[in-house]
Amino acid sequence: MKIITVASAKGGVGKSTFCYGVGKLLALHGKNVLLVDMDIGVRSLDILLGVSEKTVYNWGDVIKGNCEYRKALIQSANGLFLLPAPIDFDEGYTPEAFAGILGSFAKDFDYIFLDSPAGLESGFNLASKVADSCIIVSTPDAISIRAASYAANNVRKAGISNVRLVINKFNKKIHKSINADEIIDTVGARFLGVVPESQEIYGSVEGRKIPYECKGNQALLRISRRITGENVPFRAKNL
């Protein structure tokens, strides 16, 4: 079981969409995947997975002993599993308690993605302390890149050395002068891939699936294969 925190320190760059898109592809290719919403208070993965109606318990309930750990899991139509976030923070949500819950799922899942919130506080910290690796998601603008470098520094401080970078919402027309190497150097993380700004990915929810062959999904597919350790060549040095 691999535990990957998906972080950025900034909202709106596409972390939750990335977790959903990549998680769905890994599940489609036979992996057992769990997505954990770390956004205490402002959950979003239940909407992306189309399971909001089914959400009863969350990982906070498991820590508090309100329910057995399997009861908090929700399975979505595409084989992905979700562990929703609690609404409020509680002092009992320690890294030890949270790691204990993930440990209960060790036999059931190949990949656990922790969908970190914006900011560098509770949900981000908890995820950084229990994950074995990190994927930083950044859009190609200066503000997002700065936030991404803060996030990368913080996960490293928490002891994660395997930090990789995804550049999301890349738009050829707008980002003509953007150089991937500069972004990679600023964030200080290994490059994992680039995902184009895509009409098909925008607002992707269960009701409106991302077509398998579209460019955005193919980019997510290449990234998902790299996550499994496959050597998928990068197409171009500059974006």
φ/ψ of residue 74, rounded to 5: -125, 130
Per CB under 5 A, 16 contacts Mg ion: yes
Judged by CB under 6 A, which stretch of 62-70, 98-106, 200-208, 223-231 contacts ligand ADP?
200-208
Residue 85 beta carbon to ligand ADP: minimum distance, rounded to whole angstroms: 12
Edge to edge, what strands does the sheet with 74-75 contain? 74-75, 81-83, 33-37, 111-115, 2-7, 133-138, 162-170, 190-196
Helix axes 180-187, 142-157, angle to 10 degrees: 40
Per CB under 6 A, 195 contacts ligand ADP: yes
Per CB under 5 A, 204 contacts Mg ion: no
Residue 140 beta carbon to ligand ADP: minimum distance, rounded to whole angstroms: 11
Helix axes 95-104, 122-130, angle to 10 degrees: 60
User: Which among ligand ADP, Mg ion, none contacts residue 211 (Cβ within 5 to 8 A by kind)?
Assistant: none
Say if CB 179 and CB 238 are below 8 A apart: yes
Per CB under 6 A, 226 contacts ligand ADP: no
CA 23 to chain centre: 8
Judged by CB under 5 A, which stretch of 22-30, 40-48, 190-198, 200-208 contacts Mg ion?
40-48
Secondary structure (3-state) at 225: helix
Judged by CB under 5 A, which stretch of 27-35, 39-47, 198-206, 230-238 contacts Mg ion?
39-47
Residues within the interface to Mg ion (CB under 5 A): 15-16, 44
Residues of the shown chain interacting with ligand ADP in the complex, contacts defined by CB under 6 A: 8, 11-17, 44, 168-169, 195, 197-198, 201-204, 216
